[in-house]
Amino acid sequence: QKEVEQDPGPLSVPEGAIVSLNCTYSNSAFQYFMWYRQYSRKGPELLMYTYSSGNKEDGRFTAQVDKSSKYISLFIRDSQPSDSATYLCAMIHTGGFKTIFGAGTRLFVKA
Amino acid sequence: ETGVTQTPRHLVMGMTNKKSLKCEQHLGHNAMYWYKQSAKKPLELMFVYNFKEQTENNSVPSRFSPECPNSSHLFLHLHTLQPEDSALYLCASSSTSGDYNEQFFGPGTRLTVL
């Protein structure tokens, strides 16, 4: 079983839709949960991170962590064509700096 | 230059060639990483250097040879590669001072092995 599972998509939505991206994981030692965004021909860049369980909101983006279910989500409200990218979930053990990444979900937002 | 830079951006090489990838970070970080990114697969961590010392080698074949002369520069030397080594090679850097340390990535080198 992979440590982190993420559906690679692609996911195609119309402009203005609410997008839900998800990852599951198997290791309960993960404490930091991140979402990276990767545009074509660029490296990943950090979008949001959360510590332990709960929600975190930043503009149109909301990250949610459910440690009891080992499930994390990223919601994008009022999606825009500029949100078209690959979104990678990532996780770190407490006190560590080795990051475990998901496969990334390719998102297309159509104008 | 700011952030993390990588050269070259694209590389095509034959199976018998020897080439090197270069990464430079301008962020004052002490840790540097090499990742391999293949289509629809998770980022694969290859090597980690912390204060120039290699702290991780994820069972990477010996045809990949890393070098870290200082905390700002990282190289990946390539020789006798296989077609399945074709991928995007990403370099990243971070500090290691806290419980959580964001990794900053370069744009990657797109490698094609013929």
The rounded distance, in Å, linking the Cα atoms of A12 and A67 is: 28
Judge: B99–A32 Cβ closer than 8 Å, yes or no: yes
The full length of chain A comes to 111
Q: Which of A40, A41, A61 is nearest to A50 (CA)?
A: A61
Report pLDDT for A24.
Answer: 97
Sites in chain A below the pLDDT cut of 50: none
Judge: A44–B42 Cβ closer than 8 Å, yes or no: no
Give the pLDDT band (50/70/90) at residue B102.
confident
Report pLDDT for A76.
Answer: 98
The rounded distance, in Å, linking the Cα atoms of B70 and A80 is: 42
Report pLDDT for A67.
Answer: 92
Q: Which of A66, A92, A98, A88 is nearest to A5 (CA)?
A: A88
- Cβ burial of A49 (10 Å; 0-12, 13-18, 19+) is middle
Residue of B nearest to A94 (CA): B99
Q: Which of A42-46, B97-101, B105-109 has the lowest mean pLDDT?
A: B97-101
Give the pLDDT band (50/70/90) at residue B7.
very high
Report pLDDT for B28.
Answer: 93
| Residue B5 sits at the chain A interface (C-beta within 8 Å) | no
Judge: A43–B105 Cβ closer than 8 Å, yes or no: yes
Q: Which whole-number Å values give the CA distances from B105 to B2, B9, B16, in the listed order?
A: 12, 13, 29
Q: Evaluate if residue B52 carries a pLDDT over 90.
A: no
Judge: A49–B102 Cβ closer than 8 Å, yes or no: yes
Tell me which residue in A8, A99, A104 faces B103 most closely, judged by beta carbons.
A99
Judge: A49–B100 Cβ closer than 8 Å, yes or no: yes
Chain A CB contacts of B55 below 8 Å? none
Report pLDDT for B100.
Answer: 73
**Average per-residue pLDDT in chain B?**
92
Report pLDDT for A95.
Answer: 63
Q: Evaluate if residue B1 carries a pLDDT over 70.
A: no
Q: Evaluate if residue B90 carries a pLDDT over 80.
A: yes
Tell me which residue in A31, A51, A97 faces B101 most closely, judged by beta carbons.
A97
| Residue B41 sits at the chain A interface (C-beta within 8 Å) | yes
| Residue A40 sits at the chain B interface (C-beta within 8 Å) | no
Chain B nearest C-alpha distance from A84 (Å): 16
* B 53-72: CB under 8 A from A: 56
Report pLDDT for A96.
Answer: 64
Q: Which of B49, B94, B42, B100 is nearest to A94 (CA)?
A: B100
